[in-house]
């Protein structure tokens, strides 16, 4: 099958992936650009997990100040090289993450950051809520696990649904950026300030 240069260019503009990878993806997808995008995303997400243990020692601190100046966020996003940290794609990602933190108010970056005593406190609350339900212990444990998952999705940045695209979690947004930029990316920390809040 012959893939036109115009189709390759179209896919490259959509994904930011190199020409040869675009050509391969189009061949795999039978020339269908949308299927090629899916193919590249699947491959990219797989390669993102391989980059997870590389040291991300460069990066930047992005800020977001909400209209009126009553809410502000600082987010430190790390990447492997200063070169990538200076790209528009990386800077836009960092700004989007700052805006997301302003809108969604996460408490932690990832679930591993949640203190064990906080998790235990949540478990105790869920048990107390079901105290008179007479459900079997294994069913209660499944319900508690489900409620804890919901708690992580509400309080952990990487587990939250992205405000600009609720079908995508922040973890996926970062994995896509890793696939596109070819370097490990990590959110190190964030701070959210709202006038009048302790």
Lowest mean pLDDT among 8-22, 41-55, 85-99, 130-144: 41-55
Domains (ranges, CATH) in the chain? 5-50 (1.10.8.10), 58-109+156-194 (3.30.479.20), 115-155 (no CATH)
Asked whether residue 132 carries a pLDDT value surpassing 70, the answer given is: yes
Q: Could you report the per-residue pLDDT of 85-128, keeping only the tens digit for each?
A: 999 999 999 999 999 999 999 999 999 999 999 999 999 888 88
3-state helix, strand, coil in the chain (%, to 5): 55, 20, 25
pTM given for the model? 0.69
The residues near 11 (Cβ < 8 Å, ≥ 6 apart) are 17, 22, 25, 26, 33, 36, 37, 40
- d(CA 10, CA 48) in angstroms, rounded, equals 23
Question: b/e for 1-34, b at 16 or more Cβ within 10 A?
Answer: eebeeebbeebeeebebeeebbbbbbeebeeebe
């Amino acid at each position: 099958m012959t893939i036109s240069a115009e189709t390759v260019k179209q896919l490259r503009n959509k994904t930011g992936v190199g020409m040869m990878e675009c050509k391969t993806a189009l061949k795999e997808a039978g020339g269908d650009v949308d299927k090629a995008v899916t193919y590249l995303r699947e491959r990219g997400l797989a390669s993102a997990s391989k980059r997870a243990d590389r040291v991300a020692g460069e990066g930047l601190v992005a800020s977001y100040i909400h209209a009126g100046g009553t809410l502000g966020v600082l987010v430190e996003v790390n990447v492997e090289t200063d070169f990538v940290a200076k790209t528009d794609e990386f800077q836009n990602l960092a700004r989007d993450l700052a805006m997301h933190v302003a809108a969604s108010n996460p408490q932690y970056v990832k679930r591993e950051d949640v203190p064990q005593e906080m998790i235990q406190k949540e478990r105790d609350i869920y048990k107390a809520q079901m105290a008179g339900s007479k459900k079997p212990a294994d069913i209660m444990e499944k319900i508690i696990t489900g409620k804890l998952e919901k708690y992580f999705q509400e309080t952990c940045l990487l587990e939250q649904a992205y405000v600009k695209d609720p079908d995508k979690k922040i973890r996926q947004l970062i994995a896509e950026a890793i696939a596109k930029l070819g370097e490990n990316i990590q959110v190190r920390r964030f701070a959210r300030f709202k006038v009048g809040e302790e």
